[in-house]
Structure 1
Amino acid sequence: MTKTKLDTQAIGLDAGLGLIRWLTGREDMHYGLWDGIDVCAANLGPAQAAYTERLFSLLPKGPLRILDIGGGAGETAGKLIALGHRVEIVVPSPLLAERCRTNAPGAVVHEAKFEEANVEGPFDLCLFSESFQYIPLDQGLSKCLTLLGPEGRIIVSDCFRNEGYTVDKTRAKVGGGHRIGAFRETLEGLPLKVVHESDITEAVAPSVEIEQALFNVVGGAVERIDRELSEVKPAQRWLLNRALRLVMSERKRERLRVRLMEQTRSAEAFCEHNRYLMMRLERA
């Protein structure tokens, strides 16, 4: 079947993978936990390791059969396998699926969106590590319930929009995820209970400032090239701008400009619009 729409989610994941690999030498695609760690790009790797340690503290006693949903490049799955667990991974991107097979060679990899994946249970644990926000709210937890064994658990570690969040169509607000109120309403309608919940918003928030600094480096380079083209090759610059206008709406161009040229993605702004929660759920 011929594609008619760009898969921007998969493209973004693939691009993010290359950036993280260049910056840290690893392929962990999640926020860092910055408690007691100086906030700078050089410390992103240690901060991500601290995040993984906190995440693994929620694991029930193993060994477990784990479904890693939206497993990134397989770094987390590889660590879980090293601890003696059996892991299956669901990822939507061919590139990420390939990296999962390299980084977690003992895992079974399903190249599909979770809501479309043909996966067979029972699993002891369904794990969402910064992937829950990409799955329709009415499908994520309910599908997990069909895949879990009687004593199965679900771990959700992700960003949610807080109660006061409002949409701004002209400027993207840092963060993301389902609205926390809608998530809790969905949870109330399912045979699940929260047995652990920790709010780590302030501890992960500095990660967005590292990201913003990298965007600004790219933005500075783009601005310098644009200025040079306007002076030396104005015709070519006009053509490039015309092509950009044909493939990207004015709203998207403005959001890209803000992302590259301004400093709107701060830890303070992240905390204002989001709650980052680590939760473990069990059958009610």
Structure 2
Amino acid sequence: MARKKLNTQAVGLDAGLGLIHWLTGREDMHYGLWDGLDVCAANLGAAQVAYSERLLSMLPKGSFRILDIGGGAGETAKRLIALGHNIDIVVPSPLLAERCRTNAPEATVYEARFEDAALTGPYDLCLFSESFQYIPLAKGLAKCLTLLAEDGHILLADCFRSEAYSVDKMRAKVGGGHRLGAFRETLEGLPLTVEEEHDVTEAAAPSVEIEQALFNVIGDALTRIDAELQEKRPARRWAIQRLLRLVLSERSRGRLKQRLMEQTRNRETFAEYNRYLMMRLARA
């Protein structure tokens, strides 16, 4: 019997939802925009609201049928419904699908990956809010074109790898997404025009420092525990370290140490290796 592939994307999204709700009391699963805000966990909710307001300000005028692709827990859909739009949501996780049905009960929810989902257009607008990076580059915009109305739009907000990014197998670089150059080339080959585009990298970059600070708190606690074990239970500490070497590769151990003990996930490195773009596209 073939082994089923682990859905690590869905697991990661579910875990992220719990963390965000614990921090902010809301279920927004995206970066914040930090212009004018002190960078601390207490302001994460306000930064995420600023992000949503900026994104929704880029909507064309009118009331539309909108496909929210990778709609998180339905918070954005709830705002869109309040503005008078008709919303369908597609999400890959059963937990997120259930949260969407709770937070945006007026929406139709499809539990599937976008590239696999059986959707029926036409839609006036397809929305990607930090979901585009999880969809194969050759499929995301191309499938939208099969679903869009003739005068339809695509609203896309996401992180892209800059030209400075290079693969390092031993150390993880902050950020993510498709390479920006490859995205531009894909866009040029499709019947789409850029109506509006904003680079919000500098405003979004501090978001990564909130996550890094949380991991450092965990790392500090583990360091204290390790010191206590080394002093008082050396045999037990040796056994734990032996087990970690057996279950985690050298690469995984190095990346875990980087995440827990270092501060390499900061706004400067994010801005070096990534560009965060918000753009509205229309059929050519």
Partner of 2:168: 168
Q: Structure 1 278/94 Cα, relative in aligned 2: closer, same or farther at 3 Å?
A: same
Q: What is the 5 A alignment of 1:147-162?
A: 147-162=147-162
Q: Structure 1 93/41 Cα, relative in aligned 2: closer, same or farther at 3 Å?
A: same
Q: What is the 5 A alignment of 1:4-15?
A: 4-15=4-15
Higher mean alpha-carbon deviation, 98-107 vs 5-14, is at 5-14
* Unaligned stretches of 5+ residues in structure 2: none
TM-score, scaled relative to structure 1: 0.95
The Cα of 1:237 is off from its aligned counterpart by 3.9
What secondary structure sits across from 1:114 in the alignment? coil
The Cα of 1:233 is off from its aligned counterpart by 4.3
Partner of 1:53: 53
Q: Partner amino acid for 2:88?
A: E
Q: Identity over aligned residues, as a percent?
A: 74
The Cα of 1:44 is off from its aligned counterpart by 0.5
Q: Partner amino acid for 1:163?
A: E
Q: String of CA shifts for 1:22-42, please: whole Å, max 9, x gaps.
A: 100001010100111121110
Q: Partner amino acid for 1:20?
A: I
Partner of 1:204: 204
Higher mean alpha-carbon deviation, 54-63 vs 134-143, is at 54-63
Partner of 2:219: 219
TM-score, scaled relative to structure 2: 0.95
Partner of 1:109: 109
Q: Structure 1 89/5 Cα, relative in aligned 2: closer, same or farther at 3 Å?
A: same
What secondary structure sits across from 1:139 in the alignment? helix
The Cα of 1:145 is off from its aligned counterpart by 0.3
Partner of 1:20: 20
The Cα of 1:226 is off from its aligned counterpart by 3.0
- 1:67 matched to 2:62? The reply is no
What secondary structure sits across from 1:138 in the alignment? helix
In 2, the alpha carbon distance for the partners of 1:2 and 1:96 equals 27
In 1, the alpha carbon distance for the partners of 2:71 and 2:166 equals 29
The Cα of 1:2 is off from its aligned counterpart by 6.7
* Unaligned stretches of 5+ residues in structure 1: none
Partner of 2:93: 93
Q: Structure 1 35/60 Cα, relative in aligned 2: closer, same or farther at 3 Å?
A: same
Higher mean alpha-carbon deviation, 84-93 vs 21-30, is at 84-93
In 2, the alpha carbon distance for the partners of 1:190 and 1:200 equals 24
Q: Structure 1 116/247 Cα, relative in aligned 2: closer, same or farther at 3 Å?
A: farther
What secondary structure sits across from 1:193 in the alignment? strand
CA RMSD of aligned residues (A): 1.6
Q: Partner amino acid for 2:170?
A: T
Q: Structure 1 13/265 Cα, relative in aligned 2: closer, same or farther at 3 Å?
A: same
Partner of 1:257: 257
What secondary structure sits across from 2:115 in the alignment? helix
In 1, the alpha carbon distance for the partners of 2:139 and 2:237 equals 46
